[in-house]
Chains A and B, each alone.
Chain A
Amino acid sequence: AQTVTQSQPEMSVQEAETVTLSCTYDTSESDYYLFWYKQPPSRQMILVIRQEAYKQQNATENRFSVNFQKAAKSFSLKISDSQLGDAAMYFCAYRRRGSGTYKYIFGTGTRLKVLA
């Protein structure tokens, strides 16, 4: 069975600094998606960034980038130039790729605090 592990329940970063959130996963599949979702306080969960496992290039979305290490089954999220609005719960998630209905496997989340 697939698992997703986020070993940092809480992290803090100074405004304008860089922070990295860790995620490891376990799967026997070779084709899958990995996601980072952001859940701001009392607000809707939204997708931050997505990585397709067959792509070697790390995904980037503005200040958000990932370090995808397929062999190590590691998928960390780097937030550069942190802003107060980045404060949220961040969830790492896995889903098998392909047509069909596959379960999404979520980690337990990392609460990020941004200090002014």
Chain B
Amino acid sequence: GIQVEQSPPDLILQEGANSTLRCNFSDSVNNLQWFHQNPWGQLINLFYIPSGTKQNGRLSATTVATERYSLLYISSSQTTDSGVYFCAVEEGGTASKLTFGTGTRLQVTL
């Protein structure tokens, strides 16, 4: 099956700093989503981005499907950005199965 690798596994930032999270995948995909899991365990949809670039406030994401990677940019980080960020992909030709990476754990400090 498809492999999804996220980097870095852990990240500590001071409030106000910018960061880039990376997701590499091993095969072609028809769906790619970024999620934020907050400290209470809730999964929050950030982006549905099988290709191209999207922006939502301080967050933006870019997927280069031909090179099999996606990037999530967080600018001017806030303590509420803390949590785990997951990338998940849906492999082309499979029946609707999202394969998740192991996540990037982000801690934003004052």
A binds B: no
Taking beta carbons and an 8 Å cutoff, which residues of A are in contact with B?
none
